[in-house]
């Protein structure tokens, strides 16, 4: 039976980098945000977004993602409305991906809001990625060309590290890539031993 490892962490913690380390170890990885972007291009989802948020978010039937982000990142109710459209579609997509990887011992599901959405309860193990707040802010400002204030307001919408860590099986501090890479290997060793024992 394939065990699902939920991989999460706050914005800018470097989840995608850690996910790539799991991939290097031969573990299939499902990046929920990337898949959500693909799912949001389906006509069914586009129509639901138009109905809920209006036509003004679309240029020639293409969703203006930054306009949508502005609406949802500053408004919890609007974010919940969007999640109610996107999450069920991503869940369905993940289930079919899981079937394609059913021969594997482990797969990784990487998502930013694993705890906030309650989805963490569906997984066998949870790995939380952490990094100092200043490092995270710098990374996101560079990556998204956002201001410090924009990054901080997005951070406020997410759980803090302490809360995440209290519900996690493993924690990777992603300040030093070499050490973080080794930690991924260690976690897989531990999980393989557990797998044999069960």
Predicted confidence (pLDDT) per residue in 59-103, tens digit: 888 899 889 988 987 788 998 899 899 989 999 999 999 999 999
**Is the Cβ–Cβ distance between 173 and 188 less than 8 Å?**
no
pLDDT, mean over the chain: 93
Buried/exposed code over 136-154 (b: 16+ C-beta within 10 A; e: otherwise): bbebbeeeeebeeebbeeb
Residue 68 host element (H or E): helix 65-73
Q: What is the structure's pLDDT at 76?
A: 84
Q: What is the pTM of this model?
A: 0.89
Q: What is the structure's pLDDT at 142?
A: 95
Annotated binding site: 12-17
Annotated binding site for ATP: 12-17
Domain topology for 3-197: Rossmann fold (3.40.50)
Q: Rounded distance, CA 131 to CA 179, Å? A: 13
């Amino acid at each position: 039976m394939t065990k699902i490892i939920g991989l999460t962490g706050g914005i800018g913690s470097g989840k995608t980098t850690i996910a790539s380390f799991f991939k290097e170890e031969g573990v299939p990885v499902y990046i929920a945000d990337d898949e959500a972007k693909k799912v949001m291009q389906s006509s069914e989802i586009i129509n639901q977004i138009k109905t809920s948020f209006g036509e003004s978010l679309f240029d020639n039937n293409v969703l203006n993602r930054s306009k949508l982000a502005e609406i949802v990142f500053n408004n919890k109710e609007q974010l919940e409305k969007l999640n109610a459209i996107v999450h069920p579609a991503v869940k369905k997509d993940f289930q079919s991906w899981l079937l394609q990887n059913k021969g594997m011992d482990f797969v990784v599901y990487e998502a930013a809001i694993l705890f906030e959405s309650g989805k963490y309860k569906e997984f066998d193990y949870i790995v939380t990625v952490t990094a100092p707040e200043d490092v995270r802010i710098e990374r996101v400002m560079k990556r998204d060309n956002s201001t410090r204030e924009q990054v901080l307001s997005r951070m406020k919408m997410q759980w803090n590290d302490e809360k995440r860590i209290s519900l996690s099986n493993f924690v990777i501090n992603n300040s030093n890539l070499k050490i973080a890479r080794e930690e991924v290997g260690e976690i897989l060793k531990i999980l393989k031993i557990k797998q044999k024992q069960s």
